Amino acid sequence: MIFRGLIRSKFSANQKLFRSIRNIFGFYPDNIFLYKLALRHKSATKKKINGLKINNERLEYLGDAILGAVVADYLFKRFPYKNEGFLTEMRSKIVSRSSLNKLSLKLGLEKLILSDADPNYRPKSAGGDAFEAIIGAIYLDKGYYFTRRTIITRILNLHYDLEDLVDTEISYKSRVIEWAQKEKKDLSFKVVQEIGEKQNKQFKVALIVDEHTITESIDYSIKGAEKIAAEKGWYLLTPQS
Amino acid sequence: MIFRGLIRSKFSANQKLFRSIRNIFGFYPDNIFLYKLALRHKSATKKKINGLKINNERLEYLGDAILGAVVADYLFKRFPYKNEGFLTEMRSKIVSRSSLNKLSLKLGLEKLILSDADPNYRPKSAGGDAFEAIIGAIYLDKGYYFTRRTIITRILNLHYDLEDLVDTEISYKSRVIEWAQKEKKDLSFKVVQEIGEKQNKQFKVALIVDEHTITESIDYSIKGAEKIAAEKGWYLLTPQS
């Protein structure tokens, strides 16, 4: 496999990209065209084929899902005694747009992106998008387990300090409270309904800002419901563009 | 493998569950305990081990990610000329909570769930959660490609009509417009900024309700920006519990 890649790289007009992929991810591509496509930002969209614009958006969609699965699996096994709330939050931090954009810069992937956009106007997310698209390309080119190994050995083990990430756990509750203080709003959580009985009891909690109910959430614990309401509220109160 | 499973099923106290999994998914489990855990709703949480509550929530987290990857891959290959917006929307419809809850009922998985909750108060999502947890169990028990084949042959091919799903494509734009009519609000989309030049130009579009800006989105086309703003707006305007 490696040998085949090697030979192709010698004769390929895409020799530079071959070498870059080898340097960043540790292997030679079989189908170099997948990687070229993965690096084609939508601002550099090529002609349409059957009405489909040729850029990296489809591969990004695929890679996002594959990356999510690999990271979920990795954290599941790495933290056998942590609950799903912890695992979900850790994963969000690893695959967040800003985290992947930084990663793309560190890897030098950013420089390989083919884009027609004025760098000043190019969305910052182009780097993270290209990284995800490359994951999609690796998956199609080499399969799931190869992609998984590459992500773990080349990305997670080298570029993420999990202990560090644990410490910087983001609490949405503290975020919305901070937001309210800054905006001089009155923010509170209120149990508005109790559903069921005894150990099966669930609580409906409302997140209230200046007497308006922003969102409601239900969970088996008040703390849990507050946490979910805070997370939903955070996105409602601070629309992300 | 099948033989080993068969022998185990004969001698196992979990014979009924063995047969149920065989009937629903077409294979015998190797590690039946994973499947038992996948069917343990959080209302039937067993004693804690190392501070971790023993129920299906961790497996659900894992299964959700694996299911997402398999469905993403499947749609990517099934619709080679559709853009990522279409693929994302199709996937959302397939793995939506309500879709998975219905699936769980159809499969008869619902009846296997171990729960202490009064059925009247048991969240409807328990079925979909258990389905995702079972996917997590299959992944740990049999690996990615086995899980992928099972999802495609036993779930997607049998229980989803993709042509039908395409037709029922949800438009967030029509949803928010409908909502505004019902609520007697004045809703409009407005281009508030143009960024960059020529074919790299991006548009910032605001979703405005009764003169309040609800959210803003940026895209390379006005239509695209409106679509994203509509989707974000939908969740902001109609908080889901």
Is residue B7 predicted with pLDDT exceeding 80? no
Q: Which of A125, A142, A167 is the last residue of a domain?
A: A167
For residue B78, the model assigns a pLDDT of: 94
Among residues B167, B198, B215, which one ends one of the domains?
A: B167
> Of B45-49, B105-109, B218-222, where does mean pLDDT reach its minimum?
B45-49
Mutate: best of B61, B139, B232, partner A, most A CBs <10 A: B61
Same domain, A26 and A47: yes
Question: How many A×B Cβ pairs under 8 Å?
Answer: 132
Same domain membership, residue A121 and residue A87:
yes
Domain boundary among A143, A167, A191: A167
Count of domains observed in chain B = 2
Q: How far does the CA of residue B130 sit from the closest CA of chain A (Å)?
A: 14
Do A161 and A233 lie in one domain? The reply is: no
Residue B141 is among the residues annotated as catalytic for this protein? no
Q: What is the pLDDT of residue B59?
A: 97
Q: Are residues B112 and B64 in the same domain?
A: yes
Nearest Cα residue in chain A from B228: A241
Q: Which pTM does this prediction carry?
A: 0.71
What are the DSSP calls for chain A, one per residue?
Answer: -HHHHHHHHHH-TTHHHHHHHHHHHSS--S-HHHHHHHTB-GGG-EEEETTEEESTHHHHHHHHHHHHHHHHHHHHHH-TTS-HHHHHHHHHHHH-HHHHHHHHHHHT-GGG-B--S-TTTS-TTHHHHHHHHHHHHHHHHH-HHHHHHHIIIIIIHHH--HHHHHHTPPPHHHHHHHHHHHHT--EEEEEEEEES-GGG-EEEEEEEETTEEEEEEEESSHHHHHHHHHHHHHHHHS---
| CATH number of the CATH domain containing B211 | 3.30.160.20
Q: Which of A84, A139, A200 sits opposite B58 (nearest CB)?
A: A84
Whether residues B146 and B204 share a domain: the answer is no
Taking residues A47-53, report their average pLDDT: 81
Mean predicted confidence (pLDDT) in A196-214: 88
pLDDT tens by residue, B162-186: 887 776 656 788 788 878 877 888 8
CB contact under 8 A, B139 and A73: yes
Say whether both B111 and B198 belong to one domain: no
**pLDDT for residue A3:** 62
Which of residues B13 and A61 earns the better pLDDT score? A61
For residues A7 and A43, state if they share a domain. yes
Mean pLDDT to the nearest integer, A99-127: 84
ipTM attached to this prediction: 0.70
Same domain? For A61 and A112 the reply is yes
Domain, as residue range, for A120: 2-167
Query: Are residue A118 and residue A56 in the same domain, yes or no?
Result: yes
> Are A70 and A93 contained in the same domain?
yes
pLDDT in tens, A52-87: 888 999 999 999 999 999 999 999 999 998 999 889
The answer to whether residues B23 and B86 belong to one domain is yes
The nearest CA of chain B is from the CA of A160 a distance in Å of 20
A153 plus A195 within the same structural domain: no
DSSP for residue B82: S
- Determine whether A116 is an active site residue: no
Query: What CATH number corresponds to the domain at position B18?
Result: 1.10.1520.10
